[in-house]
């Protein structure tokens, strides 16, 4: 019951106080520029990285990015900027 009430309150506050959903719901914000840059905010940590794959931990699940020639340009505790050829972005609910 308390969990449902908490979710209700977050949704109500987001709607009525005009707060961004990604902030209130603790969701990742993903910004892409074509297929060459992807910027992810509000992740919970780097799981794995190679020149063809990036995997990030989210509050619920994981984010998997596949492509080629990946280079991490910026990495901060909750933000990452990845450059390269982005072919696929997949949300894994694991």
Q: Which residues contact 62 (CB under 8 A, 6 or more apart)?
A: 47, 55, 56, 91, 92, 94
Domain boundaries, the chain: 27-92
26: which DSSP letter? T
Its pTM stands at 0.75
End-to-end CA, the chain: 24
- Considering the domain delimited by 27-92, tell me its CATH architecture: Sandwich (2.60)
Per residue in 24-81, pLDDT (tens digit) is 567 899 999 999 999 999 999 999 999 999 999 998 899 999 999 999 999 999 999 9
């Amino acid at each position: 019951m308390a969990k449902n009430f908490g979710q209700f309150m977050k949704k109500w506050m987001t709607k009525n106080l005009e707060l961004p959903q990604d902030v209130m719901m603790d969701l990742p914000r993903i910004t892409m520029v074509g297929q060459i840059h992807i910027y992810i905010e509000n992740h919970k940590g780097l799981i794995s990285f190679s020149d063809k794959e990036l995997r990030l931990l989210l509050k619920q699940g994981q984010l998997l990015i596949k492509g080629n020639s990946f280079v991490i340009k910026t990495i901060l505790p909750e933000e990452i900027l990845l450059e390269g050829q982005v072919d696929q972005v997949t949300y894994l609910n694991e």
